[in-house]
């Protein structure tokens, strides 16, 4: 099955309308990872993180940490907080929650 085509279709239709329940779990994870990858390339980080969470997909922390750092430095604290939580950087997420949100 071409998960790339499905990912493009979901992005075109809007990720908020995404329903991948008809696919087996492994395919759902692969589709969500492809969707998130495309959204990261479009600089739609918040949407990409939501897609990763909905598909229970974990991208490597080394891939997401620079993105989280960028959002922290640009004062987009809610997005930085979500990403730090997602990659398991609990101390940084807690710091943001207590001091910036």
pTM: 0.68
Where in 14-90 does DSSP place strands (E)? none
What is the per-residue pLDDT across 2-49, written as a single tens digit (0 to 9) for each? 888 888 888 888 888 788 888 888 888 888 888 888 888 888 877 887
pLDDT > 80? residue 85: yes
More confident residue, 5 or 77: 77
What was the pLDDT predicted at 97? 95
pLDDT > 70? residue 1: no
Contact of 33 with 23, CB cutoff 8 Å:
no
Burial class (CB within 10 angstroms; exposed 0-12, middle 13-18, buried 19+) of 5: exposed
What was the pLDDT predicted at 90? 94
C-alpha distances out from residue 43 to 14, 37, 38, 40, 49, Å = 15, 10, 9, 5, 11
Distance CA 7, CA 83 (A): 21
């Amino acid at each position: 099955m071409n998960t790339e085509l499905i990912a493009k279709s979901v992005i075109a239709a809007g990720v908020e309308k995404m329903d991948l329940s008809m696919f087996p779990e492994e395919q759902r994870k692969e589709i969500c990872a492809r969707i998130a990858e495309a959204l990261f390339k479009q600089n739609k980080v918040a949407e990409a993180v939501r897609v990763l969470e909905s598909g229970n997909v974990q991208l490597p922390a080394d891939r997401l940490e620079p993105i989280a750092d960028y959002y922290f430095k640009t004062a987009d604290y809610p997005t930085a907080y979500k990403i730090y939580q997602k990659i398991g950087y609990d101390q940084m997420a807690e710091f943001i929650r207590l001091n910036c949100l």
